[in-house]
Amino acid sequence: MSARLADLLPDDDIRLDAPPLRWGIAGPGVIAADFATTLLANTAQRLAAVGSRSPERAAAFAARFDAPVAGGYDVLTRDDVDVVYVATVHPAHAPLALAAIEAGKHVLVEKPFATSAAEAQRVADAARAAGVLAMEAMWTRYVPTYRVLDRVLRDGALGTVTTAVASVGWGVPRGAAGRLTDPATGGGVTLDMGVYPLWFAQFATGRATRIAAFGRRRGEVDEEFAAAIEGGGGRLATVGSTMAATTEGHAEIAGTEGRAVVAGHLVFPLGFDLTTRSGTEAWRDERLLPGRGGLAWQAAALAGYVADGVHDSPLHPLADTIALATAMDTIRAAI
């Protein structure tokens, strides 16, 4: 490395004070509330409208966050909305994104971007045809930890990357009702928490070329999986996710010259530890926005891209989104 690890900043630093856009929120649930909280507290972005199947829920959310307009999803196509954040249940992601794109809006779509690679491709094609920015809300990719780790990988500090390991599990009691266990709402572990270790594997070893996966079901949805993945250049990853138990969220990347281990949970990283033949150094996020406060980074990134006329995220482009959806298709089919 050309500089002390502790002093590194991302090459493509995202500004939290990126020029403001007027945001509409589709789906006033828990994740949308966390997003709105950090959007207003940590960025220059503005909340313009809230849309829901339930106008009453939209109105309550709008009152909580001082949004001027609330109603059905149609309010998100108003002229005073620049970008729509889609935070509904998974099966509604693609239809709502397509409707927003047709109205000329940029879209930030919660993970998973869609429930299949075919759906993801349709949204990507529509965004390109309309000349708007469509971006998967893979928020971990935009936090400082992973932007600095990306720089470390590109600078060759690990030598040639050979393997990656990642797992995420949050226990959901058997018999519990809710979105995760309901096939009608896109339930199952792969489309939910499983997307994070799969993204990490892709980040570390490239888009998957081969996947061998095993898993178990809980009723009509997938409960857990373990997958062996071959990425670009023959690099390998082992990935797991479960809602049968809670795991520590471990993630690491190994190469011919060393390894990097994410500090804290994969989804909520504090930084990482880099071990090479020279010893071990720690990089910690001094600009840490705790918990889901880190959602602010992806919103600021999108606003910056729009200001610069960029129509595809350079950090998590649509090609990566579609590759990730393809991997999820493969794993769900195997289970």
* 293-309 pLDDT tens trace: 999 999 999 999 999 99
Together in a domain, 134 and 268: no
CATH, residue 100: 3.40.50.720
Q: Residue 148 in 3-state DSSP? A: helix
- Tell me what pLDDT residue 12 has: 86
Q: Say which residues have a Cβ less than 8 Å from residue 228's Cβ, sequence separation at least 6.
A: 211, 212, 213, 236, 237, 238
Give the predicted TM-score (pTM) of the model. 0.96
Is 316 domain-assigned? Answer: no
Does residue 49 belong to any structural domain of this protein? yes
In order of 214, 299, 327, the CA distances from 228 in angstroms are 9, 32, 11
Please give the pLDDT value at position 3: 58
Same domain, 199 and 262: yes
Structural domain tally of the chain? 2
Residue 187 lies in a domain: yes
pLDDT-derived band at 2, boundaries 50, 70, 90: very low
In terms of domains, do 194 and 282 share one?
yes
| Domain assignment of residue 257, given as a range | 144-288
With beta carbons less than 8 A apart as the criterion, state whether 108 and 83 touch: yes
